[in-house]
Structure 1
Amino acid sequence: MFRVVHIVTSDNGGAGRACVRLHSALLKAGLESFIITKNKSSNLNNIQELKQSKFNKSLTKSIRNISLLPFRSSIKKASDYFSPNINIPFLSDNNKSLLQQIDSISPDIIHLHWIEGGFVNIHSLASITKPIIWSLHDENAYTGGCHYVANGCNENMFKCKLCPLLPKPSRVSYLTFINKQETYKKINITINGLSSWIATRAKESLLLQDKSIINLPNPIDTNLYKPLNKAFARKALCIDSNKILLAFGAIGGSSIKRKGFAQLKAALEMLNDKNKYELVVFGGQSQDIDGINVINLDVLHDDATLVLLYNACDIFIQPSLAENLSNAIMESLSCGTPVIAFNIGGNMDMINHKINGYLAKPLDAKDLSNGIEWFANLNLEQKEDISNNARNSILSKFDYKVVAPMYIAVYKEMLGGGGVIPLLSFSFTSFNATYSLYLILIFNYLSLNNLLHIISQYINKINILHSYQLNLVDSYD
C-alpha cells in the first residue's frame, strides 16, 4: 500500500473532523495515512502539528490579521466570510516548514482539505511535484477569498474584481484571484467537490474549470453514529421532556448569519401549536424564541455525546444559508433522525424530500416551518419509516467501508511523479504582484506620507532586484 498525507488547518471544526474521519477510514483500509495540521487537538494516530517557531507562529497570525484589516469595519467577523491567501516573500518560513514536514513523511499522495486561516500559502503548492488532490470544503479555492460566493457574483463567474463583501474601493479579492490563477497554471491537481453542487460550481469557475474534477463524499463511521433508544438518550442528557424535540447546532450558530438562526427563529414562531415542541441548541447559546422552550447544551466536544443528542431529538434542523456537505446532516441521518433543511448546496446529496427528511424552499422560513409540521403530523409507523430511510441512506452511500475504497481507487489513478522540491525559484512578476497586494491591504491604515515612503522603498527594492537579475544574466553571457 501507499502513503497519503492530509493537510488541514485544524483537526477540529467541520472540515477538520471530516478530514480526520477520512484519515481514520483509510487507516482501517490498510493505507499509511498521516495528517499535518496547524491546530492539533486530537490524540489519534499519525496526526502531526506543524513544527513552527514561536516567532513564525506570531508572524503568521500578524500577517493574517493584516490581511483582514480592509474589511473588518464592514463585516463583524470577516474570517467567517473571507480569507485572502497572501504570500509575502522573505518574511515567513511557513511554506518551508510545511514542505519539509511533508517531505519527512515521504508521501505518495498529498491530500489538501481546508487550508486557510494563515496555514498554507497557495504559492507553495507550485513546489510540490507529488500528485495533489484537494477536497473543497467551501468555495474559497476558486474565488478571490470568499468562502461562499456572495450574491451578485454569478454574472461574472467569480472574476472577483468588485467583491460585494469588501468596502469600496478594494482590489484585494482580484489580486488574490490573480495569485491563485498564476499558481494553478503551474500545478497538476485533482479537485474533489465533496458534493455534486460544489463540484459543478468548481467546474464553472474561471480558476478551476480546466482541472480534473471529481465528486467523492466524506465518510462516516456508522458503527459509532447509530440509532439508540430515545428515552435512554434523553435521560443520559438529563432532558426531561415528552415533547417533540427539535435540534439545531453550529459553533456560534445564533451569531453567524450564514448558519440561518434568524430563519429558524422565524420558522419556529410560525408553528401552529408551539407548545408541542422544544428546541435543543448545541454549539453555542441561543436567543429566546416566543412560545418555545430552548434547552442549551453549549459546545459538545465528543462523538458519544453527539450521538446521544441526535438520538434524543425527533428532528434535526439545518437552516444554513450556504452549505457544502454538512457533517451534522450526515451524523443525524446516520442516527436515524430525519433532517429538515433548505434545498441548497450539497443538502440534496443526502436528503431525499419526504423520504428521509424535508427540503424546504431556499431561505423560505415558512416552508421550513411547513417541514417541521409535516413530520410532526405523521403517524408513528410513518415516522419509523422515515427514520429507517434516514439510516439506510447513509449506510448505502457514506459509510466509511463504502467511501474509503473510492478514495483508494482515485489515489491509484493519480500515482506517479517526483517529490517535494524547495522554494528556490524567484519570479519577478510574482514578487511585484504580492507586494502590490500587501500595500493595498494596509492602504487605508497609513497616512499618505507614510504610504508614499513605503512605496518609494518598494520601488527602490524592485529596481535593485531587477538590476541584480540583469547583472546575473550578463555574467553568464
Structure 2
Amino acid sequence: MKKILFIATIESHILNFHIPFIEYFYNKGYEVHVAAKLGNRQDELKDLNVVCHDVNFSRSPYSLSNIRALNQLIKTMRENKFSLVHVHTPVGAFLGRLAAKITNTKPVLYTAHGFHFYKGAPLKNWLIYYTMEKIAAHWTDGFITMNEEDFNIAKKFNLRRKDAVFYVHGVGLDIEKYSINDEERRKKLREELGFSDNDILLLTVAEINTNKNHKQIIDTIKILKDYSSIYYLIVGTGEEEEKLKNYVLLNNLEERIKFLGYRRDISEILNAIDIFILTSLREGLPRAIMEAMAAGKPIIATNVRGNRDLVRDGVNGYLVPVNDIEATAKAITKLAENTTLRTKMGEEGRRIIQDYDIKKVLREMDEIYSLYL
C-alpha cells in the first residue's frame, strides 16, 4: 500500500486543519501517517485510521530536543517508503525536509501557514526563520502559500523544482456548518450566557497568547464607558490566560469581558454574537475570521498580512492599525450603532468566503497533489 506522511510540530495542528486532506488520501487508498508531538488528542487521529509517530518536537528552533526529533523522523522515513511527504509548521517543516533530504525521500511539499518573518517583524525573526526557509527551499519540491505576501516571498526562493510555488485559498472551510442564522437558538444561547437581545456581543476565538493581542480589545472596551451594552467574549485558552484575566480584574472590567474557555460549539456562539474581532500582531490566514464570515458576521481586524486577505476595509468589516485603541473604538461603535451596516457587511463576508469553501480548496489541492503522485 502506498503511504503518505504529514508532519507538523503538534498534533492539534493536524486535527484542526488537515482532517479533510487525510480523508482525501484515505479514500484514494493510501495509508496515511502523521508525525507530530502527540498529546491528549491522539485517539482522534487513530479514529481517522492514521498511523501515528510520536516525535519529540519543540516549537522553539533553539531547543536541543529537536535533534532527537530529527533522528526520529529519519528513522520513520527509513522504515517506510513514502510516496509523498507534506510538511507544516516552521520547525516541523524544516526538520521534515532535512530528514527527507538525508533519507532521499521525495517528493516533499510544504504548506506555509504564515511565515514568522513578515513586514514589520522583529529582526531576529528574519535572521532565524527567513534563513531556515531559504535553506530548506532547496529540499522542497512544492511550496504552498495561502496569502498574497507569503506567495510573493516564496516565489523568490530557489526550490528543487522550478515554477513550484502555489497559492491556495487556505485550508478550506465547511461553510454550511457555520451558516446557522437561527433566531431561536441565538436567543437561547445569549440567555444562557447572561445577555439580552439588545446587548452587543463582540467575540474573539483564538489561543490566548501575546501574538493574538487580546489586550488591544480590552483597552478599547475600557474607553467605551458610555457603551455599557457592549460586551466582549473570549473563547480559547493559552499561556497568557491568567495574566489577561488579572488585567481585566485590575481594570474593573469583569462585568464587560467574559472568558468562555475552550469551546466546541463555535458555530453556535457565532450565531449568537454581533461582531467578530481579531487584533493579532501576525497572521497567516486566520480560520477564525473565515468561520465568522461564513456565519455572516462583520469583522474588525488588525491590518496585517492574512487578515487583509480576508477583510476588505469598509466592505465586510474594518481593518485597524495594531494597538490603535481609538481606531478600534471607532470601528466598534460604528457597527454597534448600526444594525443595517452589520447585516450588510455580514452578507458581503458570506459572499467573499465562498472562494474558501473546503470543496474548492480540495479541488485546488487535488491539482497540486496530482503533479507529484
Is the contact between residue 219 and residue 325 of structure 2 (CA under 8 Å) also seen in structure 1?
Answer: yes
Identity %: 19
Distance change >3 Å, CA 208–CA 324, structure 1 → 2: farther
- Does structure 1 residue 214 correspond to structure 2 residue 166? yes
Q: Aligned letter for 1:123? A: L
Provide the C-alpha distance between the structure 2 equivalents of 1:31 and 1:329, rounded to a whole number of angstroms. 34
Is the contact between residue 225 and residue 335 of structure 1 (CA under 8 Å) also seen in structure 2?
Answer: yes
Equivalent of 2:228 in 255, 270, 275: 275
Report deviation, 1:290. Answer: 4.5
Query: Where in structure 2 are there 5+ consecutive unaligned residues?
Result: none
Higher CA-based Rg: 1
Provide the C-alpha distance between the structure 2 equivalents of 1:338 and 1:48, rounded to a whole number of angstroms. 41
- Does structure 1 residue 124 correspond to structure 2 residue 115? no
Could you list the per-position Cα deviations for residues 371-400 of structure 1 after superposition, in whole angstroms to 9, with x for gaps in the alignment? Answer: 111211223x33222222222222x21111
Query: Aligned to 1:353, what secondary structure does the other structure show?
Result: coil
Greater shift, 231-240 or 305-314, is seen at 231-240
Q: Highest relative contact order (Cα 8 Å, sep 6+), 1 or 2? A: 1
Distance change >3 Å, CA 228–CA 326, structure 1 → 2: same
Structure 2 residue aligned with 1:9: 9
Structure 2 residue aligned with 1:266: 219
- Does structure 1 residue 20 correspond to structure 2 residue 16? no
Distance change >3 Å, CA 209–CA 323, structure 1 → 2: farther
Provide the C-alpha distance between the structure 1 equivalents of 2:351 and 2:344, rounded to a whole number of angstroms. 10
Provide the C-alpha distance between the structure 2 equivalents of 1:203 and 1:390, rounded to a whole number of angstroms. 29
- Does structure 1 residue 359 correspond to structure 2 residue 315? no
Equivalences for 1:318-467 in 2 at 5 Å?
318-379=278-339, 381-394=340-353, 396-415=354-373
Equivalent of 1:36 in 34, 37, 41: 34
Q: Aligned letter for 2:91? A: E
Q: Aligned letter for 2:203? A: A
Is the contact between residue 267 and residue 369 of structure 1 (CA under 8 Å) also seen in structure 2?
Answer: yes
- Does structure 1 residue 246 correspond to structure 2 residue 246? no
Structure 2 residue aligned with 1:138: 114
Distance change >3 Å, CA 218–CA 332, structure 1 → 2: same
Distance change >3 Å, CA 367–CA 413, structure 1 → 2: same
Query: Aligned to 1:258, what secondary structure does the other structure show?
Result: coil
Query: Aligned to 1:36, what secondary structure does the other structure show?
Result: strand
Is the contact between residue 8 and residue 16 of structure 1 (CA under 8 Å) also seen in structure 2?
Answer: no
- Does structure 1 residue 112 correspond to structure 2 residue 87? yes
Equivalences for 1:295-306 in 2 at 5 Å?
295-300=258-263, 302=264, 305-306=265-266
Is the contact between residue 114 and residue 284 of structure 2 (CA under 8 Å) also seen in structure 1?
Answer: yes
Provide the C-alpha distance between the structure 1 equivalents of 2:68 and 2:27, rounded to a whole number of angstroms. 42
Q: Aligned letter for 1:411? A: Y
Q: Aligned letter for 1:407? A: M
Structure 1 residue aligned with 2:121: 150
Structure 1 residue aligned with 2:150: 198
Is the contact between residue 11 and residue 20 of structure 1 (CA under 8 Å) also seen in structure 2?
Answer: no
Provide the C-alpha distance between the structure 1 equivalents of 2:324 and 2:158, rounded to a whole number of angstroms. 31
Q: Aligned letter for 1:212? A: A
Q: Aligned letter for 1:405? A: R
Is the contact between residue 264 and residue 319 of structure 1 (CA under 8 Å) also seen in structure 2?
Answer: yes
How many residues of Structure 1 are paired with residues of Structure 2 in the alignment? 352
Structure 2 residue aligned with 1:163: none
Is the contact between residue 16 and residue 114 of structure 1 (CA under 8 Å) also seen in structure 2?
Answer: no
Distance change >3 Å, CA 102–CA 400, structure 1 → 2: farther
Kindly report the root-mean-square deviation, in angstroms, between the aligned alpha carbons of the 2 structures: 3.6
Query: Where in structure 1 are there 5+ consecutive unaligned residues?
Result: 52-56, 65-78, 161-172, 416-477
Could you list the per-position Cα deviations for residues 103-145 of structure 1 after superposition, in whole angstroms to 9, with x for gaps in the alignment? Answer: 2xx43x32212263699454213134422211112325xx7xx
Report deviation, 1:35. Answer: 4.6
Report deviation, 1:189. Answer: 2.0
Is the contact between residue 334 and residue 390 of structure 1 (CA under 8 Å) also seen in structure 2?
Answer: yes
The structure that is strand-richer by fraction is 2
Q: Aligned letter for 2:35? A: T
Q: Aligned letter for 1:297? A: L
Distance change >3 Å, CA 392–CA 399, structure 1 → 2: same
Could you list the per-position Cα deviations for residues 420-468 of structure 1 after superposition, in whole angstroms to 9, with x for gaps in the alignment? Answer: xxxxxxxxxxxxxxxxxxxxxxxxxxxxxxxxxxxxxxxxxxxxxxxxx
Provide the C-alpha distance between the structure 2 equivalents of 1:366 and 1:397, rounded to a whole number of angstroms. 33
